[in-house]
Structure 1
Amino acid sequence: MTSVLSAEGQKKSLTYIGFIEKWAFGTKSTFFSGLSLASSLEIESSQPMFRNHLVTALRTLLRERANSLTNIAGLTLGITGSLLLFLIVRQGLQFDQHHSQKDRIYRVVSGENGPNGQTFVQAVPAVLAAELRAEIPEIQEAVATVYKRNSLLGVVRPDGTVDRFKEKNGVVFTENSFFRIFDRKILAGDAAKVLIEPQKALISVRWAEKYFGTREVIGREILYNNESYQIEGVLEDFPTTTDLPFDLMLSFESIREQKESVGWGGLSDEDNCYFLLNQNSGIGSVEAGLEALVQKNYGKGKENTNGNHFIIQPLAELHSDMRVGNYNSKMPAAAKIAFTGIGLFLLLTCCINFINLTTASAVKRTKEIGIRKVLGSTRAQLITQILSESLLATFAACLLSLLAAQLLIPIFNGYLELSLSLSLTTDWGIWVYFLVIWLGVTLLSGLYPAWVISGMRQGHVIHGNTSTKGSGYTIRRTLIVSQFFISQFFIISTLVIYAQFRYMQKKDMGFVQDAIVNIPIPASAAQSDAPQDKSKKRTLKSELMRIPGVESASLSSTPPAANSVLSTSISLSGSDEPIATQIKEADGDYIALFGLEILAGTGLADLDTLNSIVVNESLAKSAGFQDYSDFVGQEIDLWGNLLHVNGVVKDFNSTSPGDNPAPLLLMNNLDGYKTISLKLTGGQVEQQLSQIEDIWEGAYPEHLFEYSFARDDVNNLFRGERKTTSVLAFFAGIAIFIGCLGSFGLATFMANNRQKEVGVRKVLGASASSIVWLFSKEFIRLILIAFALSMSIAWFTMDKVLQEFAYRIALGPSLFLAALALSILIVLLSVSYRSVQAALANPVDTLHAE
């Protein structure tokens, strides 16, 4: 009977309710948490239908507590993971979108043609902004920015004392035109006159309160590298979604002469140039103007031997274009796609889990559904009722995911250096997201179980016929295979990324890292032309060498592996063919201290000025020499100087461990030494560092002492890979755990559906282990099917990912077999409780109804 009974028919049916309820549920009815069917019908007749559905759904969820908690837990995990990924992707898409003229703002970056194709850097000549304003009429405004990291700041107190602080970032030299291009409000001060005169500064509200304890700081003095700047304005704090993270802005006029004296010959990543295009102009006109500037300043044709050129980059691409850097961390477009895909996978797998658990528990509700149908409930009413349960479960999961996300966001922000936030009062996007998730997950996860359960025939279910063989059983298996597919893809991806990370960590980088401490020399002293500052470096080295346990010391621009590198081009004497190379400035002890292997010739002379050079294998090969000894004694042209090649050293990684060693030369240049490295012995590190600090502070009393160990510096180069691995492992763990819940759901369904079969098998002598195997082999078969599907896709995807690394692991069968074994182990552990429970059940209890 599928039609609705009349009111009179319902009243007549009530005379049989006591008997039916006792037969179906026993004396202590579990239907509606102990309420009689008569009282439930009274509720239906006296309350609005929708309210009744919700009340009944709530009672059902409370009655089936274990199943409800498992369902909600799976949904909560999936929604929490997808919410975090949504916040990460959304923040990546919002960078610098707050500028009102964003569609007309561009950055100019540099390109160069080398033996390995085009190379790109964010640096441009410091004179470019002035040239753009003067030479290209289509450009409305242009601005130069010089960003300084690891800056020493000093705050002058009223009594004349100076408090010094080290800031990782936040200091930029720029021009007044910055505020005619970008939206950054000046809260105090004259916007038309700031940053025009030298030694002037603007400070953000955040830093004003941090360093001065007040926003009233106009006229106060702040020191940058011990040079005084007068504050003439207060800036609003920059938003978290910007690649222009400036807390202290200093007038470019203060360093203009120093920067522009280099002309077009020097590039530094700290030097950037932005411009604002006229409203009615096309970008093609600017490209033509830039080409004219290239020809004017670099030459054309064969004269421009390095193939120098400029590239125009829209502001919207700053945060995702991985060819060049910026003043902030980046999120490549591929990462946004990957995070979106992972978020959708998590939602899908938690929906699959909900479907499996709900349909698995449906066996327990067959008599309830049958009686409802006998009493006149239509299929539409049953679907609505079951969807109401899904609606409540998803709503509870959404609330719990909000709480979980609030707890996890600070951890994500600290570890990934993000600035995620979750505000329900101001962020309407979160409400839209949750509304879509709530309704979408409810329909996706609840519609199929509602259709299956409501479709049970009342005659069959009342008589205990709960067989689900057929399409429904096949669909459940298909869903489980899909869930295993997602879980195994995550497992394989995590194992591959982790193996690649470990491989890079263990790879020989070509130099010694142990027991070496690197100490930066203050920037003002390192770049000073004063004779006393130059001699101070040598004196410092000599005094540090007197400390017991300091085995050796070396002055250099940077250690062997560093985030920053100086690039240029050289040519063999008598040849016009350019050879792109990196440069490290170092003294004569550098090669021995870092254990660089000399393959031909000798090392560097310990001189203060440029005299001769040592090259690596890659540079020798780029110059056309396979026998390195033939390269020794050759002359090269560097910046107009003819220099002899003293020797050739074995290649070592000078930047990221994932990159191939680039052509590189070592040369003397006392002016460029910014680091002193010490090799320590004796095991008294703390005592030695204390002595080192005393001597260093005697040489540079107005600066802060800092140090780092070479191995830690190298490990920091793996920071991006380490974070990627951790994030992937975190979300893989969520997917795997949800998959375990789904496996438990299928095991529960199998146990409920086959309990009489198990009872018969035990009566006929089957052992408990054979019953456990009866359940386990079904899951192993499904895992193997999912593995066969996921292996090829994971192989293809991970092979593409590994192509980004110069040194990479081989995708051998061991990784995939390990993933398969791990999948089987995890799933068998998750279903073992239910299968053992079924195997140990008393057959008398399962067969007494027969």
Structure 2
Amino acid sequence: MLKNYFKTAFRNLLRSKGISIINLSGLTLGIACSLVLFLMVAYMSSYDIFQSKRDRIYRVVNKSVGNNGTEYQAGVPTVLPEAFRTDFPEAEEVVFISEGSSSLVTIPQKNGELKKFQEENKIAFTEPGYFKIFDRAILSGDAIKGIDEPNEAIISTQLAKKYFGKEDAIGEVLKFNDQEYRVTAMMENAPPNTDFPFNLFLSYSTIKKEREEAGWKSIWSGEQCYILLKEREQIAKIEQRLPAFSKKYLGADDPDKTEFMVQPLTEMHFDERFDTYSYSTVSRTSLTAFSIIGLILILTACINFVNLSTAEAIKRSKEVGVRKSLGSTRMQLVGQFLGETTLVTTLAMLLSLGLTQLALAFINPFMEMELALNFTSDTSLWLFIICVTVIVSLMSGLYPAFVVSGFKPAQALKNLISNKNSSGYMLRRGLVVMQFFISQLLIIGTIVIVSQMNYYQDKDLGFAKDGILIVPIPEQEQPAGIEEGGSKMRTLRDEMENIPGVEMASLANDPPSSGHVSGTNFKLQGSDESHGTQVKQIDGNYLKLFELELLTGQNVQDLDTATGFIVNEKLAHIAGFDNAADIVGKVIRVWSKEYPVVGVVKDFHTVSLHSPIEATVLFNRIRGYEHLALKVNVKQAQGVISQLKTKWEAAYPEHLFEYEFLDENIRNFYEGEQRMSILLSIFTSMAIFIGCLGLFGLATFMANQKTKEIGVRKVLGASVESIVMMFSKEYAKLILLGFMLAAPAGWFLMGKFLDEFAYKIEVGPQVFVLTFGITLLIAILTVGYKSLRAATVNPVNSLRSE
């Protein structure tokens, strides 16, 4: 019996090749896209899930009140861990992690030379307690004793092979920030799905004294504290006493009103308020959205299947009549048609696995992930394959099977069952409306997200960013040393200005907008009120090179130390001056330095457009210069870079030369959103394409059903245009109904999405007009092709049709 079912199913699929190909293509694309999204969601949800103590691990974070409301920070003062150990005995372990601010590692060679390696996000200073909290296998050596003394290091096999050409490097020496460290232990490589991607740990005791000099008032996001809660202790005990802890060490009159909090490790990767060491967070809302899109794509493919199967069922009415007359039960017929559906679904699943494997070769480098189809170890993948195959088979086949098996033998044998009087007619209309609702909702989302990304790219940031080259300055200089031997960085700057193609050069801690922000508080002389401000340490060329608009006053002089401050409009307004020019001449206090304000610049964006403009103060300070900026002629950029490299390496021979263009760096602020917009555009296109396959199939079926009607109409004088319109108006109504449902839903959802941005576009009527126009055009092209072919057939041939 089962063999007969599959043989019959295979023959029926071959008999209706067109419908079978459309069904198979739609299901394959739908399942492949949903499988990619499943792998992405599973990967992003797996961060640090392998930590055996993850339910007891917490990170100490803080929130404060800034000029633009509540601000969140993952970093803590360097002196907090010791105080936490004393005040909270509920913590079994407390460990401090300080990310390596410089990423240059050098390996001394026997001939006296240095091998240089530039690393990213792989180096950290920490304490032995790290290995008591986090799971990281030690391959040789002792983790606890490995970094309990100054100048010790634990290294992964990956870096050991890279630095020393062997996997066991115990006893070898490396240099970091001009300090030598001896390798005392070997550990496994950091997995890709972790927020602790370090492959080199250095003993924190080496720099502890220097770091703790900053006290409680200095916080940097790269310096974080983690605790392991004792078993059977409640985190609520710690949370209740944290406000008192904050006041005890920061003071009740703390101007920032900083409060320390604890954040569970299980929530760390999904809380976008705080940074992580992987520089990668994703909200649970985004994961839910990806999951819903995956379900939508499968649902769209299933809708196609149901539509085409119920429509195609009319062709098989005689077959049903014959089978019933010969004694087939309804359940036998249901089994037959469900078998055909299962066969198509299984084939689609196999094809989708191959398609997914091909797609991952492009998706992994694009998304910077390591997605894979691990059939041997990934049980969730097998669960997905089995569940999707069963559910899609049932969703796609159960209703058509019951519709077909329910035909009455007498009507079926007399060919009295038509498209419109079959029980699936209204369902097909409803499913088409749902398809258009889904497609139009995705189109609205894609248009809004792409428009927001374009808005980011085109928005005036308040400074020039094109054609500006940024080069790191790896060594600090003191004003006293300049008088003795001159300044290497100033000499380099001046030499670069003489190179053809370089219009101007400037030294500063950072360009106007960057991922690195230096902040402090300022006070107006005569006032006890303190306000937050960002700090830019600049030279005399900075304003002109970046084209910052000086509204009033004068520029700072090209000196090594400050004699006056330049502020932006936001700072002036926060200080209480409605007219920003009135702050010129007033003395403000920044970093224990009191100088008059000599100028006011127009507001400019110092961070990404996710955040509002902040108060900013600019002044001379050569100790803080970390970058050289060059305004270059883009056509001569390669020649400039070549000469810059030669001069830079002569000045800093122990370091590696690097550079980047400012506009590219700023684009990286929105790299995550840009990827998501491209990904959403692809999946939206897939949903539309799957919908078009269904429309094409239904239009084909309608043309076949109306063959005689078209012939009669043409004989009676109907034009080709009127016949095409007859086909198209039915779908135009369904598109309009789907749009009426999608427009308010899209407006609501996209409004919620845009609320996450400080600067955003408005969702105007043009978005919805464009969405409706795109959908209508696609549908007309899809249906119109088949309609036009049906309308141009010779009526003689149409009237002969049975």
- What is aligned with 1:32? none
SS at match of 2:139: strand
Tell me the amino acid that sits aligned with residue 58 of structure 2: Y
SS at match of 2:146: coil
Whether the 8 Å CA contact 2:708–2:801 is kept in 1: the answer is no
Candidates 593, 597, 605, aligned match of 2:545 = 593
Structure 1 stretch displaced more, 532-541 or 198-207: 532-541
Tell me the amino acid that sits aligned with residue 708 of structure 2: K
SS at match of 2:679: helix
Counterparts of 1:674 and 1:185, CA distance in 2:
37
1:595 offset after TM fit, Å? 0.3
Does residue 374 (structure 1) correspond to residue 355 (structure 2)? The answer is no
1:721 offset after TM fit, Å? 2.3
1:160 offset after TM fit, Å? 4.8
- 1:755-776 CA deviation, whole Å, 9 max, x = no partner? 2211221222222222111111
Tell me the amino acid that sits aligned with residue 375 of structure 1: L
- What is aligned with 1:424? 375
- What is aligned with 1:440? 391
Tell me the amino acid that sits aligned with residue 749 of structure 1: F
Candidates 211, 235, 244, aligned match of 1:259 = 211
- What is aligned with 1:394? 345
Counterparts of 1:196 and 1:378, CA distance in 2:
79
Does residue 310 (structure 1) correspond to residue 263 (structure 2)? The answer is no
Structure 1 gaps of 5+ residues are 1-48
SS at match of 2:612: coil
Counterparts of 2:596 and 2:702, CA distance in 1:
80
Q: Under a length normalisation based on structure 2, what TM-score does the superposition of the two structures give?
A: 0.96
Counterparts of 2:21 and 2:479, CA distance in 1:
68
Does residue 153 (structure 1) correspond to residue 105 (structure 2)? The answer is yes
Whether the 8 Å CA contact 2:708–2:798 is kept in 1: the answer is yes
Does residue 735 (structure 1) correspond to residue 691 (structure 2)? The answer is no
Candidates 79, 85, 93, aligned match of 1:141 = 93
- What is aligned with 1:31? none
Whether the 8 Å CA contact 2:143–2:154 is kept in 1: the answer is no
Give the number of aligned pairs: 799
- What is aligned with 2:30? 78
- What is aligned with 2:559? 607
- 1:584-642 CA deviation, whole Å, 9 max, x = no partner? 11112111110000112112222212332111111111111111121111112223322
- What is aligned with 1:631? 583
Tell me the amino acid that sits aligned with residue 601 of structure 1: G
Tell me the amino acid that sits aligned with residue 311 of structure 1: M
- What is aligned with 2:531? 579
Candidates 359, 370, 373, aligned match of 1:408 = 359
1:831 offset after TM fit, Å? 2.0
Tell me the amino acid that sits aligned with residue 767 of structure 2: L
Counterparts of 2:321 and 2:496, CA distance in 1:
89
Whether the 8 Å CA contact 1:75–1:351 is kept in 2: the answer is yes
Tell me the amino acid that sits aligned with residue 352 of structure 1: I
Within-5 A mapping of 1:664-813: 664-681=616-633, 683-813=635-765
SS at match of 1:595: coil
1:839 offset after TM fit, Å? 1.4
Candidates 788, 809, 815, aligned match of 2:767 = 815
1:668 offset after TM fit, Å? 1.7
- What is aligned with 1:112? 64
1:203 offset after TM fit, Å? 1.2
Name the CA shift for 1:165/1:527 in 2 (closer, same or farther; >3 Å): farther
- What is aligned with 2:139? 187
Tell me the amino acid that sits aligned with residue 411 of structure 2: H
SS at match of 1:644: strand
Tell me the amino acid that sits aligned with residue 238 of structure 1: A
Candidates 275, 294, 313, aligned match of 1:343 = 294
SS at match of 1:678: strand
SS at match of 1:211: helix
- What is aligned with 2:247? 295
SS at match of 2:428: helix
Does residue 330 (structure 1) correspond to residue 281 (structure 2)? The answer is yes
SS at match of 1:684: helix
Does residue 279 (structure 1) correspond to residue 231 (structure 2)? The answer is yes
- 1:820-841 CA deviation, whole Å, 9 max, x = no partner? 1111111122223321222123
Whether the 8 Å CA contact 2:566–2:619 is kept in 1: the answer is yes
SS at match of 1:330: coil
- What is aligned with 2:606? 654
Counterparts of 2:419 and 2:499, CA distance in 1:
82
Within-5 A mapping of 1:837-848: 837-848=789-800
Candidates 487, 494, 509, aligned match of 1:535 = 487
Does residue 57 (structure 1) correspond to residue 12 (structure 2)? The answer is no
Tell me the amino acid that sits aligned with residue 40 of structure 2: I
SS at match of 2:144: coil
1:307 offset after TM fit, Å? 0.6
Tell me the amino acid that sits aligned with residue 293 of structure 2: I
- What is aligned with 1:319? 269
Counterparts of 1:668 and 1:674, CA distance in 2:
13
Does residue 483 (structure 1) correspond to residue 425 (structure 2)? The answer is no
Name the CA shift for 1:822/1:333 in 2 (closer, same or farther; >3 Å): same
Whether the 8 Å CA contact 1:360–1:745 is kept in 2: the answer is no
SS at match of 1:442: helix
Tell me the amino acid that sits aligned with residue 435 of structure 2: Q
Candidates 67, 73, 86, aligned match of 1:121 = 73
Whether the 8 Å CA contact 2:66–2:532 is kept in 1: the answer is yes
1:281 offset after TM fit, Å? 2.1
Q: Under a length normalisation based on structure 1, what TM-score does the superposition of the two structures give?
A: 0.91
- What is aligned with 1:514? 466
Structure 1 stretch displaced more, 102-111 or 713-722: 713-722
Whether the 8 Å CA contact 1:149–1:168 is kept in 2: the answer is no
Name the CA shift for 1:360/1:209 in 2 (closer, same or farther; >3 Å): farther
- 1:710-755 CA deviation, whole Å, 9 max, x = no partner? 2222222221221121011011011111111121122123223222
Candidates 575, 593, 600, aligned match of 1:641 = 593
1:62 offset after TM fit, Å? 2.7
Whether the 8 Å CA contact 2:60–2:262 is kept in 1: the answer is yes
Tell me the amino acid that sits aligned with residue 89 of structure 2: P
1:129 offset after TM fit, Å? 1.6
- What is aligned with 2:445? 493
Whether the 8 Å CA contact 1:534–1:671 is kept in 2: the answer is no
Counterparts of 2:151 and 2:477, CA distance in 1:
21
Counterparts of 2:274 and 2:3, CA distance in 1:
58
Does residue 103 (structure 1) correspond to residue 55 (structure 2)? The answer is yes
Counterparts of 2:708 and 2:328, CA distance in 1:
30
Name the CA shift for 1:529/1:453 in 2 (closer, same or farther; >3 Å): farther
1:528 offset after TM fit, Å? 12
Whether the 8 Å CA contact 2:695–2:779 is kept in 1: the answer is yes
Whether the 8 Å CA contact 1:226–1:702 is kept in 2: the answer is no
1:368 offset after TM fit, Å? 2.1
Q: CA RMSD in A?
A: 1.9
Tell me the amino acid that sits aligned with residue 783 of structure 1: I
1:152 offset after TM fit, Å? 1.2
Whether the 8 Å CA contact 1:528–1:534 is kept in 2: the answer is no
Whether the 8 Å CA contact 2:67–2:614 is kept in 1: the answer is no
Tell me the amino acid that sits aligned with residue 222 of structure 1: L
1:556 offset after TM fit, Å? 0.7
Structure 1 stretch displaced more, 788-797 or 508-517: 508-517
Counterparts of 1:149 and 1:431, CA distance in 2:
43
Tell me the amino acid that sits aligned with residue 371 of structure 1: V
Name the CA shift for 1:534/1:169 in 2 (closer, same or farther; >3 Å): farther
Counterparts of 2:18 and 2:420, CA distance in 1:
26
